[in-house]
Structure 1
Amino acid sequence: MITNEFASAFVTDWIESWNTHNIKKIMAHYADSVSFTSPFIMELKHDPTGAISNRNDLEAYFVQALTKFNDLYFELIDIYLSINSIIIQYKSVNNMIAAEYMELNENGKIVRVTAHYSKRN
């Protein structure tokens, strides 16, 4: 089960990794076997299905996103916990509110992500 302490430390490091645009630190949060879905995948024309199913493509997508949004900065709003998953709600690019469902493995690495966005600002 994910504890409050683990979730807080994990999310703080995840946000900091993105805000410093440190791709190695970002990727350190993800397992070797990962499934990632996001409407931004289609928007960036990385994959027409909006899904990525391997770590190498995920890293390439993240590098592409960091290049396109070179002023990317996330602002944490809230964290939601379950047994083996976390939802991170944060302010994203273009003042969009994002909520990412992240399923973690027994080593605390992300194995599945579903990203959601709202145009609320």
Structure 2
Amino acid sequence: MNQEQAYQFADEWISAFNAHNLAAILDHYADELAFYSPFIPLLKFNESGCITSKRDLERYFQLGLATYPNLHFTLHNVFVGINTLSIYYTSVNDRLACEVFQLDKQGKAEVIFCQYAKAISHCGD
């Protein structure tokens, strides 16, 4: 994966969420996956904070889009690794977020770690 491929993935991923286009969102994910997010228990989807099937991920994203009807992400940066990328963005309620995606050979996310800060703040605040 190079920087251009990572930015393309990130741009398409952000655009899909901002359009609330569930099919386009899900197109970024493999059928077999491990998706970890503190929002999973927060939205009372499950207590483990992990989703392991694309069908459950679809239901989780449906819940998230319904819970946050004004959801809009703002991309800040993309970091590239070996078959991985991290998307740094502003998420719901002005929370800073970073999602780490491990991609399979087809370029679909198969392991995803979501991390969030409380809200946007500046160093020293």
- AA of the residue aligned to 1:43: L
How far is the alpha carbon of 1:120 from its aligned partner? 3.1
Cα distance between partner residues in 1 of 2:12 and 2:50: 24
Q: Who is 1:109 aligned against?
A: 108
- 1:87 aligns with 86
**Which residue matches 2:63?**
64
CA displacement, residues 7-47 of structure 1 (integer Å, 9 cap, x when unaligned): 11111000000000000000000011011010000000001
Separation in 1, partners of 2:5, 2:109: 13
State the identity as a percent. 38
SS of aligned partner of 1:45: coil
Residues 80-107 of structure 1: per-residue CA shift (max 9 Å, x gap): 1001100100000011000001000111
Unaligned runs of 5+ in 2: 121-125
Q: Is the 8 A contact 2:101 2:109 kept in 1?
A: yes
CA contact (8 A) 2:76 2:89 kept: yes
Distance of 1:8 and 1:101 partners within structure 2? 13
CA distance in 2, matches of 1:29, 1:72: 18
Q: Aligned with 2:14: secondary structure?
A: helix
Letter in 2 for 1:106: K
| In structure 2, distance between residues paired with 1:10 and 1:55 | 18
- CA RMSD between the two structures: 0.6
5+ residue gaps, structure 1, are: none
User: What SS class does the counterpart of residue 116 from structure 1 fall into?
Assistant: strand
Map residues 25-44 of structure 1 onto 2, 5 A cutoff. 25-44=24-43
**TM-score normalised by L of structure 1:** 0.97
Deviations 1:46-68 (A, max 9, x none): 01011101100000000000000
Give the aligned residue type for 1:76: L
The DSSP-based 3-state class of the residue aligned with 2:88 is: strand
Which 4+ residue blocks in structure 1 deviate beyond 6 angstroms?
none
